[in-house]
Amino acid sequence: MADPAYIVDGVLTDGEAWVALGSTTLGGSAAVVTFTSADDGSSLDWSQFMDLVVVWYARSDRASTNNDFIVQFNNDTSSNYPIQLLSGSGAAANAYAATNTFAYMGDLPAASSPANHMSAGVATFFDVNSGKYKSVLAQSAKDDDGSGYVSLFAATWKSQAPITEIDLIASGNNLVAGTHIDLFGVLPRMVA
């Protein structure tokens, strides 16, 4: 079994706070991008991390209207995701609350958007290994040449299980070539 990232030559160290766990750049369309914990005690095993952070640049192939970018954990597709949303376009503001079968990550430009326009965002999944419900905070923005959109999403995943799989999805459509997603693990402070 490999040592976790915070043990170097058998010594507890205080290394980098963020550890790169995975990166995907799509060469073609994909319905889902999945990240899974290595579950082997290595530096890719999520059990050593406090939080997980996803950073993305994404777009969907939906024909003419924007598409929701969503996340599900551990293949849970039940109604275990209470969410709240705050968003604005510069012309209007929106607030929304519901319980869904997923948590929102952002709003993706559609195929009809100008070429190479992407949504950008960052999401933090808190206390991913705790025995409590997990919290999600996601921020995203996109620009469609005058019809930009910014959003803040908060959600809870009502499960006490550790997060071991993350599925990132363009709801009902595909993520397109050029979509780039990075996953980072955030380590706790290991030394005084």
Give the N- to C-terminal CA distance of the chain in Å, as an integer: 27
Write the single-letter amino acid at 140.
S
Q: What are the pLDDT digits (tens) for 58-101?
A: 988 888 777 789 999 999 999 999 999 998 888 889 999 999 99
pLDDT tens string 33-60? 999 998 776 778 899 899 999 999 998 8
Nearest to 48 by CA among 1, 5, 2: 5
17-41+48-186: what CATH class? mainly beta
pTM: 0.88
